Homo-oligomer: A and B are copies of this chain.
Amino acid sequence: MNKLTIKTLAKELNLSVSTISKAIRDSHEISTSTKKRVNELVEKLNYVPNPYASSLRQRNSKTIGVVLPEIVDSFFAQAINGIESVAQEKGYHVLIYLTHENLEKEKMILKDFESGRVDGVLMSVSRETKQAGHIYELMDKGVPLVFFDRVFEDIETTKITTDDYESAHAATEHLLNAGCRQILFLSFSSSLSISNKRLNGYKNALLEKGLKVTDKNILSFNNQSKIDYLLLKRKLMSRTRPDGILASVEKLAITIYQACGDLQLRIPEDIQVISFSNLETASFLNPPLTTITQPAFEMGKTAASVLVKALGRKKFELQKEEIVIPSILVVRRSTKGF
């Protein structure tokens, strides 16, 4: 059980290691006949080159790092699917890291990336990320990074998003058209640009209809489902109970259904509900949930494509460019626009 290296092949064929290496990499310096000899031996001995030796020498790793807040979420799962599809096609490997919405973890992960472990990174920031020092530091070391979905605005790089403002605006209009006058907006972060864009879409839709925007109708969640749940429940029990809810993220939709179930509130009769969501089961919920469905797969795929393309260039600089892939509003029975 001796380790099988390029040297083994060299000895076996009476060639030098450099020749073997070049043959395997199909260099023009090597005659077709010896290439054939080499490849046959490779096949026979089942030789697979050590990627870390290559990485060390070539100063690249053919792997991309994906850092995201969580994975048990339809959006992120689908996004990974998109990422993986291009990684597989282009021969890249994908390392996955979860921040669990924790900034400290995010920092540690990016710090590790400074080692050269990954050629580039795909990232959706945590809800705690208000400062971007760790991101700048990584990019300063020359590691290309593209954001998807949850971007950090200021940073000069490519960002793949959906039309957060417009779709929140459309969703709000939809609720308004369906008769809502007190629409509760459920936010999951007060700092994230994505969350604020959605909030602004909501606000402006109200203003355009001549309605007031009030803080009482904006509920910021803490990502601690128990507390969030109670918060929502209290809001739903108040005398000024909203007649519509716009949830800015999938997870919140479930909380809403739970609370409404508990409080015996009927959807959509008592309260209409719409949510950003990629739930595959949206159509089968009780009632079917009206969603703003994000192009999760496409976003992941695009992000990965942009990154890989940049990695293919000698001087991979990412433009400060924003690629927006629109979401679609799928009206179902949780709202009356049906």
Contact = CB atoms under 8 A, between A and B. Distances in A.
Interface of A: 1, 46, 48-53, 55-56, 61, 63, 70-74, 77-78, 80-81, 84, 88, 93-98, 105, 111-112, 114-117, 137, 142, 254, 257-258, 261, 279-281, 283-288
Contact of A285 (B73, B105, B116, B285): B285
B52 A116 contact: yes
B98 A96 contact: no
Interface of A is mostly: mixed
A288 B254 CA distance: 13
13 contacts: A46-B114, A48-B111, A48-B112, A48-B115, A52-B116, A63-B95, A80-B96, A93-B117, A94-B95, A94-B96, A279-B281, A285-B285, A286-B287
A74 B72 CA distance: 7
Given A51-B117, A257-B284, 12 more contacts: A46-B114, A50-B116, A52-B52, A56-B56, A72-B81, A94-B96, A258-B284, A279-B281, A281-B281, A286-B286, A286-B287, A286-B288
Contact of A52 (B56, B97, B288): B56
A63 B117 CA distance: 11
